[in-house]
Amino acid sequence: MRELTQIIEITAPLVIATCVAVVGWIVAHRFAASRDRTNKQRELRVQYLIEAFRCLAGASGRPMLPEIAHSIESAVTDVQLFGTDTQIELVQKWARGMSAEESPCMDDLLVSLRNDLRSELNLSRVELDVFRIRVREHVEPVGP
């Protein structure tokens, strides 16, 4: 009986320490996995919204050409998937205006996307309007 008591006295702290270490590892692993999943989701969201911003800004103020229609459709879909409620509302309003053959302004949407993306990337907020430049090709006349 005395030997059993000695064995328990010796092994009990080892068993308790091992259990604490295993539980600690499991908890740390779950937190790390959750953090990694959150970071990956954030990274994907930012990536898609940056591409949508570029596409929509590039299409803004230009005629709707068939060559860019698919990109614009994808950008609208991406904003609806990854955007905030306000951004989804703004992109739907813009898309409805486009389908009604109007020329709706998308500045509010672009500003919202820009501010959200800058916040996600830990950049300062910009209060300026979105500025776009349009370069037109100059075609030289052919012939005399």
DSSP string, 35-78: HHHHHHHHHHHHHHHHHHHHHHHHHTTS---HHHHHHHHHHHHH
Residue 33 sits in which domain range? 2-120
Contacts of 79 (CB under 8 A, 6+ apart): 49, 52, 56, 87, 88, 91, 109, 113
Domain assignment present for 96: yes
Whole-model pTM above 0.75?
no
The reply to whether 125 falls in a domain is no
Decide if 142 is inside a domain.
no
Could you tell me if residue 35 is inside a domain? yes
Domain count, the chain: 1
- On whether residue 34 sits in a domain, the answer given is yes
Cβ atoms of residues 87 and 79 within 8 Å? yes
Give pLDDT tens digits for 61-120: 777 778 788 899 999 999 999 999 999 999 999 988 887 777 778 889 999 999 999 999
Q: Is residue 127 part of a domain?
A: no
Q: Are 126 and 118 in contact (CB under 8 A)?
A: yes
Instruction: Write down the residue that tokens 């500025």 correspond to.
Output: 131
Tens of pLDDT along 17-43? 899 999 999 999 999 999 999 899 999
pLDDT > 90? residue 10: no
Count of CB atoms situated within 10 Å of the CB of 107:
16
Let me know if residue 143 belongs to a domain: no
- Residue 99 domain-assigned (yes or no): yes
* Nearest CA-CA partner of 88 in 127, 61, 116: 116
